[in-house]
Amino acid sequence: MTQVRFLFRRIAFYAVTAWAAITMNFLIPRLMPGSPADTVLSRFKGQVSQAQVDAVKAQLGVSDKSLMSQYWTYWDNLLHGDLGVSVSYFPGRVSEVIGQGVWWTVVLIGVATLVSFVAGTLLGVLAAWKRGSRLDALLPVTTFFSAVPYFWIALVSLSVFGVELGWFPITGGYRPELQVGWSGEFISSALSHSVLPALTIIVSSIAGWLLGMRNMMLTTISEDYVLVAEAKGLRSRRVMLGYAARNALLPNISGFALSLGFIVSGSIVTETVFSYPGIGFLLFNAVLNNDYPLMQGIFLIITLMVLLANLIVDLCYVLLDPRIRQEG
C-alpha cells in the first residue's frame, strides 16, 4: 500500500535526520575552536570531584580516547537519558533542567501554533473565496506582521499591552510567589502570563498560513472539480470547504515543516523577551553562561521535538490525501 510506504519513507527520513542532529550535537563541541571544557571547568574550580571533571571533559571532547569510542559513550549516555551536568544549574543534570522548562514551551508553542494555523487557514479560505471584499485589507496588515521579526512584535506588545495598558504581566511564566501545581490560582496566573508570548507567536506566524492558504485556494478554485461542485447545485459553503479548501489544505500542510522551523526559532526569542520559563529562555541563559552541556541538550531536544511534530503532521497528511505524493 502506498500509504504505508509513504509513512515508512517519512519515518526513515526522520530517523536519519535525528541521527544527523545527534551526531552534529556530538561533533560541534569537538570541532569548534577554543576549548569549551576549560571554560566550564574554570567555573567549577574546587567544587567538584575528579570524576565530575572527567565527565565534563569527556562530554565536551577532551579525552584520550578515540573519537569512535567517545561516540559510543555519547550514544550510550544518550540512550540512558543522560545529557550530562549543567554548569549554570550545577550540580543539576541537564535532563532535569530541560524537563522543567520543556512543558512550558510545548504548551506555549503547541497552543499558539494550533490557534494560528486554524485561524490563518480559515481566514485564508475566506480571503480567497470572497476576493475583492473587505477581507482583502487583511493581506497587507498580516504581511507586515509576518515580515518583522518576532522579537520586535514581542517588544511592542510588551510595551503596549504590558507597560502602557497594564493588561497583562510582562515577565515570567507565573507569579513567583505561587507554588507550581494544579491549583486554580496557579493556572490562571500561568494563563495570563502566557497571553502576550502566545499573542506574539500567533500574530507573527498567522500570515504565513493565511497567505499560503489563500494562494492555494486561488489555484484550486480554478480547478474543474470546483466548477463541477457548483454546477451540481451544492451549497456555496460546501463547495468552498469540501472542494476548494479541502484540496488547498494539502500543500499547505506539507509546507508545515519549514513553517514550524520558523515558529520555533521565533518562539525562542519571544520566550527570552518575556523571560518565559521555557527552553528557549533556558537556551539563551545557557549561552550567556557558557553552559555548553545545557546548550547542546536543549538543541537536541528542540530538534527531536520538531521532528516528532513533523511526523504527526505527516500522519495527518496520510489521512487527508488518498493519493500521497512521493516527494518529501
Site residues for another protein, window 220-249 (CB under 8 A)? 222-225, 227-236, 238, 242-243, 246-247
Of 32-40, 67-75, 77-85, 178-186: span binding another protein (CB under 8 A)? 32-40
C-alpha cell, 176: 513567583
- Please report, as residue ranges, which positions from 247 to 266 form the binding site for another protein (by CB under 8 A): 247, 250-252, 254-255, 257-262, 264-266
Of 64-72, 100-108, 189-197, 214-222: span binding another protein (CB under 8 A)? 214-222
CA distance 250 to 12: 22
- Please report whether residue 138 would count as binding another protein according to CB under 8 A: no
Number of residues this chain uses to bind another protein (CB under 8 A) = 97
Figure out which of the listed residues 218, 241, 313, 318 binds another protein, where binding follows CB under 8 A. Answer: 218
Figure out which of the listed residues 207, 276, 277, 317 binds another protein, where binding follows CB under 8 A. Answer: 207
- Please report, as residue ranges, which positions from 274 to 313 form the binding site for another protein (by CB under 8 A): 283-284, 286-288, 290, 292, 295-296, 298-299, 302-303, 306-307, 310
The residue (of 29 and 277) whose beta carbon lies closer to another protein is: 29
Shortest distance, position 299 Cβ to another protein, whole Å? 5
Shortest distance, position 5 Cβ to another protein, whole Å? 15
What is the SS3 assignment for 105-153? Answer: HHHHHHHHHHHHHHHHHHHHHHHHHCCCCHHHHHHHHHHHHHHCCHHHH
Shortest distance, position 180 Cβ to another protein, whole Å? 25
Peptide bond into 293 cis (omega under 30): no
CA distance 196 to 151: 12
C-alpha cell, 326: 512521493
- Please report whether residue 219 would count as binding another protein according to CB under 8 A: yes
Shortest distance, position 150 Cβ to another protein, whole Å? 8
Figure out which of the listed residues 211, 274, 276, 293 binds another protein, where binding follows CB under 8 A. Answer: 211
Bridge partners for 85 per DSSP: 93
- Please report, as residue ranges, which positions from 158 to 177 form the binding site for another protein (by CB under 8 A): 158-159, 163, 170
* Distance from the first to the final alpha carbon of the chain: 17
The residue (of 175 and 246) whose beta carbon lies closer to another protein is: 246
Q: What's the distance, CA 156 to chain centroid?
A: 22
Q: Report residue 11: phi and psi, to 5°.
A: -60, -40
The residue (of 184 and 322) whose beta carbon lies closer to another protein is: 322
- Please report, as residue ranges, which positions from 56 to 75 form the binding site for another protein (by CB under 8 A): none
Shortest distance, position 273 Cβ to another protein, whole Å? 8
CA distance 40 to 94: 14
Question: CB of 29 within 8 A of CB of 296?
Answer: yes
Range list of H helices, 241-291 = 246-254, 256-273, 279-288
- Please report whether residue 151 would count as binding another protein according to CB under 8 A: yes
Question: CB of 259 within 8 A of CB of 155?
Answer: no
Nearest to 293 by CA among 45, 90, 33: 90
